[in-house]
Amino acid sequence: MEVHEREVSSPWEGLLVTPVGGGDAAVVVLAGSSGRVERERARILARHGVTALAIRWFGGPGQPAGICEIPLETFTAAVDVLGSAGARRIGVLGVSKGAEAALLTAVHDPRVDVVVPVSPTSRVW
């Protein structure tokens, strides 16, 4: 499936990848403590028909340097972007520390329909 990519830079650095022709499902993609933008994971999801927004949620310009005390609004703002793009079903996929953020976001934001926590911890710090 063909995809369209667009770099996003506010309020965070990231990559929005959409399948050509659209779709009604979308997912926020969060890396773990590496702090990277999960670009390839977003591309894979989009090639399977799911709009994906991969974001850097710490360590970037104007963001906390470390992984502690990240406001949940960081993630709900990403959900806002997907919702305003027309997504009817929204998920959050997170790896390791990103899985903690994904789980917390889903608990606090009723717009999140599904969570994919990859290698989460048993506690959120």
Q: What is the pLDDT of residues 48-104, one digit of tens each?
A: 999 999 999 999 888 899 998 899 999 999 999 999 988 999 999 999 999 999 999
Residue 122 confidence (pLDDT) = 81
Write the CATH number for 88. Answer: 3.40.50.1820
The pair of three-digit structure tokens given for residue 13, joined into one six-digit string: 């650095």
Kindly state whether residue 123 falls inside one of the protein's structural domains.
no
Element (H, E) at 8: strand 3-8
Kindly state whether residue 113 falls inside one of the protein's structural domains.
yes
Kindly state whether residue 84 falls inside one of the protein's structural domains.
yes
Kindly state whether residue 37 falls inside one of the protein's structural domains.
yes
- The confidence band for 108, taking pLDDT boundaries of 50, 70 and 90, is very high
Distance between CA 96 and CA 110 in Å, rounded? 22
Kindly state whether residue 124 falls inside one of the protein's structural domains.
no
Kindly state whether residue 125 falls inside one of the protein's structural domains.
no
Report the number of distinct structural domains present in the chain: 1
Kindly state whether residue 67 falls inside one of the protein's structural domains.
yes
Is the per-residue pLDDT at 10 higher than 80?
no
- Exposed, middle or buried: residue 44 (CB in 10 Å: 0-12, 13-18, 19+)? middle
The pLDDT of 116-125, averaged and rounded, is: 86
Looking up tokens 């028909």, which residue turns up?
Answer: 49
Kindly state whether residue 93 falls inside one of the protein's structural domains.
yes
Domain range enclosing 52? 3-118
Q: What is the mean pLDDT of the chain?
A: 94
**Rounded to the nearest 5°, which phi and psi values hold at 95?**
-110, 130
